[in-house]
Amino acid sequence: MAPGPDPNSVGDGAKRDEATTKVPSKDPKKKDDKKEEDLSEEDLQLKQNLELYVERVQDPNPELQKAALESMRQEIRASTSSMTSVPKPLKFLRPHYGTLKEFHKNMAESDLKKLLADILSVLALTMSAEGERESLGYRLTGSEGDIGSWGHEYVRNLAGEIAEEYTVRQGEESSIEDLMDLVQQIVAFHMKHNAETEAVDLLMDVEDLDLLLEHVDRTNFRRTCNYLTSAAKYLPGPDDMLVLDIAYMIYIKFEEYPNALQIALFLDNMQYVKQVFTSCTDLLRKKQFCYMISRHGITFELDPEMVENDVDREMLQDIVNNTKLSEGYLTLARDIEVMEAKTPEDIYKAHLLDGRASSGPSADSARQNLAATFVNAFVNAGFGQDKLMTVPSDSTSGSAGNWLFKNKEHGKTSAAASLGMILLWDVDAGLTHLDKYFHTNDNPIIAGALLGVGIVNCGIKNDCDPALALLGEYIDKEDSSVRIGAIMGLGIAYAGSQNDQIKSSLSPILNDAKAPLDVIAFAALSLGMIYVGSCNEEVAQSIIFALMDRSEAELGEALTRFLPLGLGLLYLGKQESVEATAEVSKTFNEKIRKYCDMTLLSCAYAGTGNVLKVQDLLAQCGEHLEKGDNHQGPAVLGLAMVAMSEELGLDMAIRSLERVLQYGEQNVRRAVPLALGLLCISNPKVTVMDTLSRLSHDTDSEVAMSAIISLGLIGAGTNNARIAGMLRNLSSYYYKDASLLFCVRIAQGLVHMGKGLLTLSPFHSERLLLSPTALAGIVTLLHACLDMKSIILGKYHFVLYFLVLAMQPRMMLTVDENLKPISVPVRVGQAVDVVGQAGRPKTITGFQTHSTPVLLAAGERAELATDKYIPLSPILEGFIILKENPDYREE
Amino acid sequence: MLTVSVKWQKKVFEGIEIDVTLPPYVFKAQLYDLTGVPPERQKIMVKGGLLKDDADWSAIGVKDGQKLMMMGTADEIVKAPEKAIVFAEDLPEEEQATNLGYSAGLVNLGNTCYMNSTVQCLKSVPELKSALSNYSLAGRSNDVDQTSHMLTVATRELFGDLDRSVNAVSPTQFWMTLRKKFPQFSQLQNGMHMQQDAEECWTQLLYTLSQSLKAPASSEDSDAVKALFGVNLRSRVHCQESGEESSETESVYSLKCHISHEVNHLHEGLKHGLKGELEKTSPALGRTAVYLKESLIDSLPRYLTVQFVRFFWKRETNQKAKILRKVDYPLELDIFDLCSEDLRKKLEAPRQKLRDEEGKKLGLQPKSSSKDSDVKMTDAAEAPSNEGGESSTAAQQEGASSSSEKGTHMTGIYDLVTVLTHKGRSADSGHYVAWVKQESGKWIQYDDSHPSIQREEDITKLSGGGDWHMAYIIMYKARFVSM
């Protein structure tokens, strides 16, 4: 909104200003004379002329009237160009506004009356009382001439009055046609004069954004759309969708397909995505679209309508299926020279701690080895090599070759599955490595191998569906650990795919009276992942029945929380669609009812920034409850989930959490670090880091544990030295406490995840898009962390692998037209918000020039530093195809 | 006949023909030839699952030219190691304790930190432990009374418990017997047992042990405690007025470090402590006269105990007041100049040897020019194995009977091993803590039930001068050299 300045105050100010500035130039003897006499001769002349015109206008002779009005108009127009002060003619006419108004009222209908109305309309700009909207009134009765001829300020004022008038008329339900004509004119004027934001504001006020389509052109559509998309974040539904729809249409109109696709993905509108493909004819650009879709992590099938040629389609589908992700990631790793595998000891850096460096060769601790397994998996994720699991097993050495057996019982599950993490995205090699573990008769190992297959296939789709073929066999096995391995593997491999075949094999488990609780919990969770954000009725029904069938005792179990969570994931980000299910959840046993309610609410509004929901959740956190109620944990997490999408809301949420921390009950405090971790995931803000560091020494060990894990989350994949140092000190501080030390180790692994090449942030494409599967993975882990002792520190530690859903290289990799990596110089710097700024402002600040591939940290943006190539997407993240610039000339 | 391509690992085998009339097992045999993966370990992904050996090709719906994917390796199947891995979590408690590298703490039973810290300090002497473990009822001499015997046994049990346990040990039994033997420790104040002076506890306990651990033969040599801690002093008592002079010898368990205005360092305090004035009846003068007593060390103990005389009875306030003065003490103490002439002579050769070894360790040539090069060579070869710390540990193994036999010799140089500190303003209040050096070289602070690792540089900061913990009783261990 750009409200016109209050005309009166500006007038006064200008007058005073004039008086003081003009004084020195005056003849000293006139100094004390009346104000009128302060005027220069020119001004005096003007004033007298205008007074004469006013008199003449009231003359009965129409000829004279007309001449006077014309001259008056001339004078006004000639001077309205300046905006810094009230134009002189307007100032001098101020005293006569009343007279002219009176006269106008008594005039007969005629052109002259209209002419006078025009002038009055302009005069009302400074004279009209607040809320009278006289300017608009006179404008409507005036001659309807070119609106811009009266100057910019006049148009802006008019726009403001229209908005007010519109609301009034909406209330009275009277016609708005005359207003809309005016709106047309104003919008056209604004769009021509670089005032897109004002045009959009006006149209939003009069609820007719479609008009915009007629007025955008090649020069201003970008700024318009930019404003629209960023305004959408602050609009209540369904207006935000409407605004984005318009932006999408504008982008399509100007063939700015990557942006259009981005908005289509934001709206989760597959029809629009398809339209982008059908509208675009360039194959190379379509490849770029495929890269964008693959980053978003949704399942998308290309059909002949989108790409005609079969060979081309197969190639594009390969890109969508992410089959080249591993290759690109390894290119980045080789370029940055971090291929060398790291051991957990390289991460712990115990030699930097004094005192306890040499603890000596003590016996293997199962807990510490398990931690090392996870650290090894996270650090070497996707590199295809490590020093514990993939080294050729040598029966003589016994130390490295048999790392698997240095883990105890269920620990072996996580160890075998860690192979999947190490070979992440490389399906062929991954399956080869995992194969041998299928042939043992040690159930935990088989379970791990199954889970590993799921992890390897995370985000990758393959025509042969190896994960389904392999894991499907094990779903109904006898041993529940094997079943869980297979079920969780399917959930990870097929997250977001809405695969019917899996649904038909997993749903029966949910309502199988004989199935153990943990199998049911993981089945519900996996179904939630596979159908994330789909609002699928059938799956929802199955989970609801499963929840209703649980006995009182089972509802108290820690793992039961995965049932409501699975249900919530079905509605991730789908807002109102959750309401029917939320109603049903009110009938649940009271032990789980509130928990379910909070989980559903927070999932449904995740990433929307809905302020009302944030308030609801905050109110829940503020209650002081009897012991045994456990729904406040998900409420705190929900707060973060809802608020995480947008910067301002995020900062506010961080501040509110600080309050919650001070006044909340213990079970609320335990969830606060996790919420902070979610808000700043892979984005180590110093203030949050300090808060978490403080909490990591909390006397309540569960608060400390969540704070430690969260330190890992906010630093995930950043190699942040400060967090690494904090964790190192914590590792010596909690030297004797095995559980806390385990958490510290996990956090250390997270900070060095992918040796610093990965991110866990579910947001991508300049923080606009939210990958639903990534968020699902993180939220699941956080819910598991709400009861750390029985899940992660118990025997279900492998839920940590759910993070794989959110793991993505934080890279920008440029490829040529044949999709081969090429190196070009790019500038990488802090992103600057340029929405609504005039001119062509810089989009990054404090940049450094590198050559691709480069890493992008949170809040950073890249731009090409050469004109030799043209990027096919304006959003320089992930894979970017470069086209040679035909106009480029070597200098 | 269908033609398909099969992808296996990173390889693609093109143009494999399938005879749809034969069962898939035949197809697997074909693949066995190509890949070397035995059919039973082949996993071929087809629509809807894995290819079964007896499936019907028509039902599977494989199309001509389709790409199949096969998983399977000819690798060895992973086998669990024959020797199962033992995890620390499964170990019995005492083995977990050894893993930590230090033993457990002691529970405070109500103002018993003076006792806890004393026990922790004495426990760090391995020779005392072994002497205790050899102690048995049968071997006790008749002049040991029942309570002393019980206290000795309780000490032995407590040391054993500490070594076996991971969690803090409650020294209830020990405390009971200690109070029985020395009723002064049962003093009550406001219904609580009072804080006691750690030095008193230390001295009394050591005295009891020395009595009960005396071998039946009761020869001087076999007093284990005395051999470990006893310092023989030869004093010259001189009366200035009469010019009389006499000499006497005595055996003490600790040296005193007197703190006066001039004393800034342990060494000065020790010197101060070895000089004293006493009044006694002079046979020559027929009245009491002031005698000057100057003592020198005549024999060195394995463990040299030094007590800082920080407490004195303040008559005005009727309590033991504390001297807060900072008195520095070194990690390595040389008491050569406190020794008697005879002892000095004995020490000279070993000391020279030690210096040579240290010099070599630093890469310096020994000064001796007269020796021929052959000797030097052998010296150099021996040196690394006989470095300071190691030789002293070697010496421990030989038992506490004698220090100067079989090639190991005292050098008059001592290394700090335990520090018992006091924090607070008077001996009967405040808090006692033990700081003990482990065999691994790590320093552990035993604050009742909480052992924690400390840095060596922080140990020397316990020298007083403020309200922080300050050293009260410190113990040095002799450094030996083998000749």
pLDDT (average), residues B15-39: 84
Task: Return d(Cα A660, Cα A780) in angstroms, integer.
Answer: 22
Model confidence over A111-137: pLDDT tens digits?
778 888 888 888 887 777 777 787 888
Q: Any bridge partners for residue B480, and if so which?
A: B410
pLDDT at residue number B400? 38
Residue B250 lies in a domain: no
Residue B385 has pLDDT above 60, yes or no: no
Residues A667, A633: contact at Cβ < 8 Å?
Answer: yes
Q: State which residue of chain B sits closest to A404, comparing Cα positions.
A: B80
- Interface residue A404 vs chain B (CB under 8 A): yes
pLDDT (average), residues A412-425: 92
Which of B9, B50, B442 lies closest to A469 in CB terms?
Answer: B50
In the annotation, is B431 catalytic? yes
Higher-pLDDT residue of B478, B426: B478
A356/B41 CB distance under 8 A: no
Q: Any bridge partners for residue B265, and if so which?
A: B328
Query: Angle, to 10 degrees, between the axis of helix A177-192 and the axis of helix A134-141?
Result: 100
Rg of chain B's alpha carbons, rounded to an integer? Answer: 36
Q: Which of B113, B201, B239, B257 is an active site residue?
A: B113
Q: What is the DSSP string of A766-829?
A: TTTEE-HHHHHHHHHHHHHHTTTTTTTTTT-GGGGGGGGGG-EE-EEEEE-TTS-B---EEEEE
- Interface residue A859 vs chain B (CB under 8 A): no
> How near does any CA of chain B get to the CA of A594, in Å?
39
Interface test mutation site (partner B, options A428, A476, A732, max chain B beta carbons within 10 A): A428
B99/A470 CB distance under 8 A: no
Q: How far is it between the farthest Cα atoms of chain A?
A: 119
Interface test mutation site (partner A, options B89, B445, B458, max chain A beta carbons within 10 A): B89
Q: Identify the top-confidence range among A662-671, A783-792, B319-328.
A: A783-792
H or E segment at B6?
Answer: strand B2-8
Model confidence over B181-192: pLDDT tens digits?
888 888 887 778
Three-state secondary structure readout of B154-192:
HHHHHHHHHHHCCCCECCHHHHHHHHHHCHHHHCEECCE
pLDDT (average), residues A491-516: 91
Buried b (16+ CB within 10 A) or exposed e, A296-316: bbbbbebeeebbeeeeebebb
Report in angstroms the alpha-carbon separations of B321 from A392, A569, B60, B309, B324.
Answer: 70, 71, 96, 11, 9
Beta strands in B215-314 (DSSP E): 231-239, 245-252, 255-258, 275-282, 287-299, 303-309, 311-314
Which of A360, A402, A435 lies closest to B71 in CB terms?
Answer: A435
Task: Return d(Cα B155, Cα B150) in angstroms, integer.
Answer: 9
Task: Return d(Cα B393, Cα B482) in angstroms, integer.
Answer: 12
Q: Domain of B36: which CATH number?
A: 3.10.20.90
pLDDT at residue number B102? 72
Task: Return d(Cα B242, Cα B376) in angstroms, integer.
Answer: 56
Q: What is the DSSP letter of A405?
A: G
pLDDT at residue number A174? 80
Residue B139 has pLDDT above 60, yes or no: no
Tokens read off for B479? 């450094």
> How near does any CA of chain A get to the CA of B171, in Å?
23
Q: State which residue of chain A sits closest to B98, comparing Cα positions.
A: A362
- Residues from chain B that touch A360, judged by Cβ atoms under 8 A, are 101, 440
Residue B393 has pLDDT above 70, yes or no: no
Q: Identify the top-confidence range among A124-138, A269-283, A351-365, A395-409.
A: A269-283
| Residues, chain B | 483
Q: How confident is the model at residue B389 (pLDDT cuts 50, 70, 90)?
A: very low
Higher-pLDDT residue of B240, B354: B354
Residue B28 lies in a domain: yes
- Interface residue A360 vs chain B (CB under 8 A): yes
pLDDT at residue number B101? 64
- Residues from chain A that touch B42, judged by Cβ atoms under 8 A, are none
Q: How confident is the model at residue A828 (pLDDT cuts 50, 70, 90)?
A: very high
Phi, psi for A562 (deg, rounded to 5): -75, -20
- Interface residue A405 vs chain B (CB under 8 A): yes
Task: Return d(Cα A719, Cα A749) in angstroms, integer.
Answer: 10
Higher-pLDDT residue of A24, B58: B58
pLDDT (average), residues B65-88: 74
- Interface residue B48 vs chain A (CB under 8 A): yes
pLDDT (average), residues A679-697: 94
Residues B294, B244: contact at Cβ < 8 Å?
Answer: no
pLDDT at residue number B379? 44
- Interface residue B82 vs chain A (CB under 8 A): no
Task: Return d(Cα B299, Cα B330) in angstroms, integer.
Answer: 21
B89/A442 CB distance under 8 A: no
Q: What is the DSSP letter of A365?
A: P
Interface test mutation site (partner B, options A310, A405, A474, max chain B beta carbons within 10 A): A405
Q: State which residue of chain B sits closest to A436, comparing Cα positions.
A: B77
Three-state secondary structure readout of A255-276:
CCHHHHHHHHHHCCCHHHHHHH
- Strands B11-18 and B287-299 come out as unpaired
Residue B217 has pLDDT above 80, yes or no: no
Q: What is the ipTM of this complex?
A: 0.70
- Residues from chain A that touch B13, judged by Cβ atoms under 8 A, are none
- Residues from chain A that touch B90, judged by Cβ atoms under 8 A, are 366
Task: Return d(Cα A158, Cα A834) in angstroms, integer.
Answer: 27
Residue B330 lies in a domain: no
Q: State which residue of chain A sits closest to B10, comparing Cα positions.
A: A428
pLDDT at residue number A137? 80
Mean pLDDT taken over chain B: 78
A366/B77 CB distance under 8 A: no
**Domain residues for B9?**
2-71
Q: Any bridge partners for residue A880, and if so which?
A: A814
Residue B56 lies in a domain: yes
Which of A405, A439, A735 lies closest to B41 in CB terms?
Answer: A439
- Interface residue B46 vs chain A (CB under 8 A): yes
Model confidence over A788-802: pLDDT tens digits?
999 999 989 999 999
Q: How confident is the model at residue A40 (pLDDT cuts 50, 70, 90)?
A: confident
pLDDT (average), residues B291-319: 84
Tokens read off for B299? 């024999």
Model confidence over A70-109: pLDDT tens digits?
888 777 777 655 556 667 777 777 788 888 888 888 777 7
B78/A393 CB distance under 8 A: yes
Residue A541 has pLDDT above 90, yes or no: yes
Model confidence over A451-467: pLDDT tens digits?
999 999 998 988 788 88
A437/B78 CB distance under 8 A: yes
Phi, psi for A862 (deg, rounded to 5): -115, 150
Share of chain B above pLDDT 70, in %: 82
- Give burial (CB, 10 Å; 0-12/13-18/19+) of B381: exposed
Residue A11 has pLDDT above 80, yes or no: no
Cβ neighbours around B77 below 10 Å, total = 13
pLDDT at residue number A791? 92
Residue B278 lies in a domain: no
pLDDT (average), residues A491-498: 93
* Overall domain count for chain B: 1
Which of A360, A366, A367 lies closest to B101 in CB terms?
Answer: A360
- Strands A869-871 and B245-252 come out as unpaired
pLDDT at residue number B483? 72
Which residue's entry shows tokens 């019995």?
A: B92
> How near does any CA of chain B get to the CA of A790, in Å?
18
> How near does any CA of chain B get to the CA of A466, in Å?
6
Which 3 state secondary structure label does DSSP give A626? Answer: coil
A464/B67 CB distance under 8 A: yes
> How near does any CA of chain B get to the CA of A428, in Å?
5
Task: Return d(Cα A656, Cα A637) in angstroms, integer.
Answer: 13
H or E segment at A596?
Answer: helix A590-604
Residue B350 lies in a domain: no
pLDDT (average), residues A503-509: 92
- Give burial (CB, 10 Å; 0-12/13-18/19+) of B178: buried
Residue B51 lies in a domain: yes
pLDDT at residue number B92? 65
Predicted TM-score (pTM) of the model is 0.75
H or E segment at B14?
Answer: strand B11-18
Q: Identify the top-confidence range among A75-79, A336-340, A349-353, B82-86.
A: A336-340
- Interface residue B423 vs chain A (CB under 8 A): no
Share of chain A above pLDDT 90, in %: 44
Phi, psi for B39 (deg, rounded to 5): -55, -40
Cβ neighbours around A738 below 10 Å, total = 16
Which 3 state secondary structure label does DSSP give B8? Answer: strand
Q: What is the DSSP letter of B214?
A: B
- Residues from chain B that touch A393, judged by Cβ atoms under 8 A, are 76, 78
Residue A827 has pLDDT above 90, yes or no: yes
- Interface residue B454 vs chain A (CB under 8 A): yes
Task: With CA atoms as reference, report the closest residue to A426 among A383, A376, A467.
Answer: A383
B86/A360 CB distance under 8 A: no
- Residues from chain A that touch B73, judged by Cβ atoms under 8 A, are 432, 435-436
Interface test mutation site (partner A, options B41, B68, B87, B437, max chain A beta carbons within 10 A): B87
Q: State which residue of chain A sits closest to B77, comparing Cα positions.
A: A436
> How near does any CA of chain B get to the CA of A1, in Å?
58
Residue B23 lies in a domain: yes
A439/B77 CB distance under 8 A: yes
Residues B307, B235: contact at Cβ < 8 Å?
Answer: no
What percent of the residues of chain B are helix, what percent strand, and what percent coil, each to the nearest 5?
A: 35, 30, 35
Task: Return d(Cα B443, Cα B271) in angstroms, integer.
Answer: 28
- Interface residue A406 vs chain B (CB under 8 A): yes
Q: What is the DSSP string of A310-349?
A: HHHHHHHHHHHTTTTHHHHHHHHHHHHT--S---HHHHH-
pLDDT (average), residues B68-94: 72
Q: How confident is the model at residue A219 (pLDDT cuts 50, 70, 90)?
A: confident
pLDDT (average), residues A834-840: 80
- Interface residue A818 vs chain B (CB under 8 A): no
B87/A470 CB distance under 8 A: no
A469/B76 CB distance under 8 A: no
B69/A466 CB distance under 8 A: yes
Dihedral sign, Cα of residue A99, residue A103, residue A106, residue A111: negative
Restricting to A residues 363-382, those with a Cβ less than 8 Å away from any Cβ of B are 363-367, 369
Residues A218, A246: contact at Cβ < 8 Å?
Answer: no
- Interface residue A15 vs chain B (CB under 8 A): no
| Residues, chain A | 891
Higher-pLDDT residue of A358, A627: A627
pLDDT at residue number B142? 60
Q: Which of B193, B409, B431, B469 is an active site residue?
A: B431
Residue A842 has pLDDT above 50, yes or no: yes
Phi, psi for A381 (deg, rounded to 5): -55, 125
Residue A813 has pLDDT above 90, yes or no: yes
Mean pLDDT taken over chain A: 85
pLDDT at residue number A245? 92
H or E segment at B151?
Answer: helix B146-164
Task: With CA atoms as reference, report the closest residue to A595 among A555, A564, A626.
Answer: A564
